[in-house]
Structure 1
Amino acid sequence: MDEILELLRAKPSYKVKQGSDDFMENRDIVHGKSLKLTERVKYKYSLKKYEMPTELKTIFERPHQDVLRRLSSQLNANNYSKFFSELLYAEEYKTNEDLKRYDRQKVKLVKKSGDYFKMKIHKRALAEKRLSVLPGDYIFVVKCGDKKAEAYQGFVHEVLKSSIDLKFDESFSQEVYNSNVRFDVRFTFNRVSMRRMHQTVRNPKVEFSRLFPQNHQNFSANDVDFQNIKFYTILNYYQRRAVAIIKSGIHQPWPFIVFGPPGTG
């Protein structure tokens, strides 16, 4: 019984550390080897990097009130792209700052074959979804105690229950690694989704007439006739009325939004 009670005892959640000096600051980076997909989608236009402007990064490092003043402009058709781009950069900055709490010091890497290395990772952090690590993501490692050392980018090639497999540039294995060396580790997040959002908000084909209509018209649905429309018998009055209004087209060119009920798609 004692063994069963011990197994049922609540376990403390994974503890993240509360910030430290940024060991990645002013480091030269040696890029690693990313995953090679067997089938890569070919896009007509390449996705831009959309790197965070230095000016914005400087503002985000200032006190909270300074950041709010920068981001509190009124949204309109003229500043649409700039407005949402800066919000995306703010989200990215905050995400990176949060990830610093998962920095690890004096980590041992285990060499596998070729340029592959294994790094143990706290499985409870993964289980609680406090830290998301997926194949294709990457981390940075820096040789402990060496303030002039380069930061090596290691791409995640496989995620196991309590470890991840990384692949670095070949110079890491040849010039830096040995079994006695320990490393400081910085986790990152994959910017692809963020870059696609930047691409979207900067789309020159955005129909601002829909987002910011100049002529406000009131539409009345009282005169819409839906008695002669064939409906599914399971639809109630309000559902039939919504379908009829959409079909009538009285709201065009504005989009029509239908809510609920939950579970109906």
Structure 2
Amino acid sequence: MIFPRTSNVQLRKKLFRECSRSLCLCRHYKSYFHALLYAEDCYLEKWDGFEMKNVNLELHNAEILVKVGFLTRYKHKVKDEKIFITFEVGKNRPFLLSRDFISVRPSNGEGNEFQGIFYRLVGNNLLLAEFGDDFHSQYQPDCKYDVKFSFNRVCLKRAHHAITVASEALLRNLLFP
């Protein structure tokens, strides 16, 4: 279970302290790994909402190689053409995982906010993101944008679920002797 979203900072700090204490007192791998995931969620929380102002966004055409079939070495590969939004990020950027969210809005405050998905980081500072057709239809190369990052917590939810499943009686002795 992920930390509940709450505006009460004191409650989140209390939950984090309890989880930190449980890292030292764990008697079972299940509670130990859950506590590690809670700690990671707290770390990610500090980057949630990270903003960059007056950013130049550029369009970048790319061909993505998509593997088709279960055994990819026996099946063919298909090229998928995509248009990515690219921009440079500094060294003080948040740690991003594929499928995290990126929101952009024109810096002048006029216009809608558009949500995209982080695809990958090229080199140390060039970010590639996918946005929908609604963004591409209004994109203007000379316009500057405000960029905000938020995290897709699906990977943490899946990890908690995997720990719970792996801790069931049939797998417990095999994985955690």
TM-score normalised over the length of structure 2: 0.57
Instruction: Please tell me whether residue 120 in structure 1 is matched to residue 88 in structure 2.
Output: yes
Alignment of 1:213-252 (within 5 A): none
Distance 1:106 1:203, change over 3 A: same
SS state of the match for residue 178, structure 1? Answer: coil
TM-score normalised over the length of structure 1: 0.41
Alignment of 1:1-265 (within 5 A): 52=2, 56-58=4-6, 61-62=9-10, 66-67=14-15, 71=19, 85=34, 88-98=37-47, 100=49, 102-113=50-61, 115-122=83-90, 125=91, 131-133=94-96, 136-143=98-105, 144=107, 146=109, 149-157=112-120, 159-175=122-138, 177-188=139-150, 191=153, 193-203=155-165, 205-207=167-169, 255=177
* d(CA) in 2 for partners of 1:154, 1:132: 14
| CA contact 1:59–1:66 (8 Å) conserved in 2 | no
Q: CA deviation at 1:206?
A: 2.8
> What's the Cα RMSD here?
4.2
Deviations along 1:15-67, one digit per CA (max 9) or x if unpaired, are xxxxxxxxxxxxxxxxxxxxxxxxxxxxxxxxxxx6x46xx221763366533
* d(CA) in 2 for partners of 1:67, 1:205: 23
| CA contact 1:140–1:154 (8 Å) conserved in 2 | yes
Q: CA deviation at 1:158?
A: 5.4
SS state of the match for residue 92, structure 1? Answer: helix
* d(CA) in 2 for partners of 1:133, 1:58: 22
| CA contact 1:119–1:165 (8 Å) conserved in 2 | yes
- Largest Rg, 1 or 2: 1
Distance 1:181 1:96, change over 3 A: farther
* d(CA) in 2 for partners of 1:172, 1:96: 27
Task: Specify every segment of 5 or more residues in structure 2 that has no aligned partner in the other structure, as ranges.
Answer: 62-81
Deviations along 1:177-232, one digit per CA (max 9) or x if unpaired, are 21233222233556465234202332275349x89xxxxxxxxxxxxxxxxxxxxx
| CA contact 1:59–1:67 (8 Å) conserved in 2 | no
SS state of the match for residue 106, structure 1? Answer: strand
Identity rate, percent = 21
* d(CA) in 2 for partners of 1:63, 1:195: 21
SS state of the match for residue 5, structure 2? Answer: helix
* d(CA) in 1 for partners of 2:88, 2:100: 15
> Between Structure 1 and Structure 2, which shows a larger proportion of strand residues?
2
* d(CA) in 2 for partners of 1:95, 1:174: 32
SS state of the match for residue 148, structure 2? Answer: strand
